[in-house]
Amino acid sequence: MGLLINQVNFDAHDPYELGSFWATAVGSSLQDDDEPGDPAAMVFVSSVAGGTVGLLFEQVPDDKVAKNRVHLDVWPTDRTRDEEVEHLVGLGASVVADRRRPDGTGWVVMADPEGNEFCVERSAAERD
């Protein structure tokens, strides 16, 4: 049978704030029982395969000190890659590395407000 991914866990100083960033970024919301100051917050997001996966933000005391060993790759659904990068910067993300190529391919490595890296790839319309 194999494995099913239940959720992807993120360490966070402030789970509610980081979860709120990601909820806004993916067009979702935190769970109804998540409150500021809680030790964890959960966001459910749609996957490319059509299912959902949870992003769980858990409070930890330590700072992020190295590059992520695992990261998310995201595809915009209603914007271009470049428009999505600007949108995410407006939400508090930052550009870590620009891997866009002159022919329109490539991606942008970004960091969320607590420094977790993720990549923004081209939308489905841009890949067609």
Nearest to 116 by CA among 74, 76, 69, 80: 69
List domains and CATH numbers for the chain: 1-61 (3.30.720), 70-128 (3.10.180.10)
pLDDT tens digits for 18-76? 999 999 999 999 999 999 999 999 999 998 888 899 999 999 999 988 888 899 999 99
pLDDT band at residue 13 under the 50/70/90 scheme? very high
**For residue 83, what pLDDT is reported?**
97
| Mean pLDDT value across the chain | 94
How much is the pLDDT for 101?
Answer: 96
pLDDT at 1 over 70: no
* Residue 124 CB-density burial (10 A; 0-12 exposed, 13-18 middle, 19+ buried): exposed
* Residue 70: DSSP 8-state: S
Count other C-beta atoms under 10 Å from residue 39's C-beta.
Answer: 11
Here the tokens at position 30 are 């935190």
Number of H helices, E strands in the chain: 3, 7
